[in-house]
Amino acid sequence: MTTLDIVEETKEASGLKRDPDWWRGAVIYQIYPRSFADSNGDGIGDIPGITERLPYIADLGVDAIWISPFMKSPMDDFGYDVSDYRQVDPMFGTLDDIKVLIDKAHELGLRVLMDQVISHTSDQHAWFTQSRQSKDNPKADWYVWADAKPDGTPPNNWLSVFGGSAWQWDTRRMQYYLHNFLRSQPDLNFHNAEVQDAVLEETRFWLDLGIDGFRLDTANFYFHDKELRDNPPLSPDMELSSARPNNPYSFQQHIYDKSRPENIAFLERLRALMEEYEDRTTVGEIGADDESAALIAQYTEQGTRLHMAYSFDLLVNEPTPDYIRSKVGKLERIVETGWPSWAMSNHDVVRTMSRLPEGTDKALAAPLLLAVNTCLRGSPCIYQGEELGFTEVDVPFEHLQDPYGIEFWPEFKGRDGCRTPMAWDDTANGGFSTATPWLPVAPEHIAMNAERQQREPSSALNRSSAFLKWRRQQTALVKGSSHFVDLDAGVLALTRSHEGQTILCVFNISSDAVTLPLPAPYTNWRHLSADGFASSHDGTSLMLSAWQAAFFIQPEDGKNG
């Protein structure tokens, strides 16, 4: 019996149903391991800590977890700089700990996704250590190396996301190497077939171990322009989805340093590998300028490339009805056979609750925005603490850990504010750790901790959980097609349809109550009682209090009266 056979038998015994389409509409809960739960009292979250808290996640009503990087790393970028793809960093535990976590998750009906960071490695990875030794060693061409210009300057104008040139001089090879992020994160050369083979084998290792899928970090950064052509300056009429105005990286159109057409063939190789295994999936992170929807369409072409992908479209700005409809509508028009994944918060951006108007009741807003995210066509991601209504934390400079924030302080404070530890209870450090945490636990988060919210029936946590469990029973909200509906009062409205079932969803994304007429054909649709939300209607008008939602289902005979 092979390792793969054992993995599949274990899944069947755990009660997980064989379903190659399980990921479509699945709710994915993102875990930032450093900040989730510390089991050994060193101030840093770990794998056993996650395992202990899996019942909490399962009870929330989600379908899968995505764990941010836990592979061996010097932690210059907190795990996104991998030095060994087949080892768990001792900070987080061991391979055996991961196996225990996977088994426990499967017992609870949860799939397990992990971050796979293959566009670059750490400069401490054995591949790079060998590559930088000479221009003719077996791995000399495994990274992106280039000669200096005659005047000693870098080979082109490419910039790093984290500031400065994307090129770093290496005195051993007397050449520059490319790094799209930190200088300790050299980019792999995907034009080299051996590199592709190697990263696919590293991916296979985790598939054999039982991982259910991958969140692919910077999935459009794998290839670079072989001619190393300069990027053109930013066009004034371009709409940017993720750039920061105080970062020179925003001044360029990134048409040569990422999103290259050669990426398509590699994604097809990756998909072929995934298809060798039962019920596995991929979700790609697309960090692009104004072309993210087009890239998602290309990268998720049905059955041939990524299963799904997400952009930063809903991870920035205030999530108003007009903004959501604009961004989601654009993607819906372009992505035909593919499948998106939506997120409003993650480990890289300001938390959603802190992008809302001052004075917003977070306990009301958090469940409503979670419902919006999970009712859009796609597979939604929820970031740890989002279900509790956590806000961005103002981490003082002396406590900053994020090199990105340290570089651009004070106009940009980095990503530490969304990465502070979870608050589980009223004990010291919010029950996260018995030691001083690697980042401070916010007092405001302790005041709204998970244990306290579990005791309050109307808390953000209980309302979010009730809704997710209700949504799971509505097939149209999980797998259905989507169509926006024009209603009054600035609400967001859409229908989801699947196999004869159509549900109208209406969201009041504001702190004001609204009353709006229900136009034909919806006046005769049956009002659904959605757990976690309350609304009223008199047959012709719908009344929604602040941050509330309403749901209606089309009559089974399809007649609208």
For 331-365, what is each residue's pLDDT tens digit?
999 988 899 999 999 999 999 999 999 999 999 99
| Within-domain flag for 405 | no
Task: Check which CATH number belongs to the domain holding 542 and give it.
Answer: 2.60.40.1180
* DSSP SS3 for 114: strand
As a whole number of angstroms, the distance between CA 303 and CA 171 comes to 45
The reported pLDDT for the residue numbered 261 is 96
Asked whether residue 242 carries a pLDDT value surpassing 90, the answer given is no
Whether 153 maps to a domain, the answer reads no
Mean pLDDT of 18-33: 97
440 burial (CB, 10 Å; 0-12 / 13-18 / 19+) is middle
Sequence-distant (6+) residues with CB within 8 A of 247 are 161, 163, 408, 412
Residues 49, 101 contacting (CB under 8 angstroms): no
Per residue in 306-315, pLDDT tens?
999 998 999 9
pLDDT at 27 > cutoff 80? yes
Q: Over 50: is that where the pLDDT of 561 sits?
A: no
Kindly provide the b/e burial profile for residues 275-289, where b requires at least 16 CB atoms within 10 angstroms of the residue's own CB.
Answer: eebebbbbbbbbbbb
Asked if residue 530 is part of any domain, the answer here is yes
Whether the pLDDT of residue 243 is over 60: the answer is no
What pLDDT, on a 0 to 100 scale, did the predictor assign at position 241? Answer: 43
pLDDT of residue 236: 76
In this prediction, residues 223-240 reach a mean pLDDT of 87
pLDDT of 235 strictly over 90: no
- pLDDT value, residue 2: 63
Q: What tokens does 485 get?
A: 């509906």
> Is residue 185 situated within a structural domain?
no
337 assigned to some structural domain: no
State the catalytic residue, choosing from 230, 276, 456, 488: 276
Concerning whether 217 is annotated as a catalytic residue, the answer is yes
What pLDDT is attached to residue 337?
85
Amino acid at 294: A
In a domain, 532, yes or no: yes
Note down the domain range covering 487: 479-553
- Residue tagged active-site, from 217, 291, 348, 402: 217
Report the pLDDT averaged over residues 17-27.
Answer: 95
Distance, CA of 165 to CA of 159 (rounded, Å): 4
Q: Is-catalytic flag, 42?
A: no
Cβ atoms within 10 Å, residue 242: 19
Domain count, the chain: 1
23 pLDDT exceeds 50?
yes
> Is 182 part of a structural domain of the chain?
no
Find the mean pLDDT for residues 315-324: 95
Nearest to 445 by CA among 391, 496, 494, 397: 391
Task: With respect to residue 487, please indicate whether it lies within any of the assigned structural domains.
Answer: yes
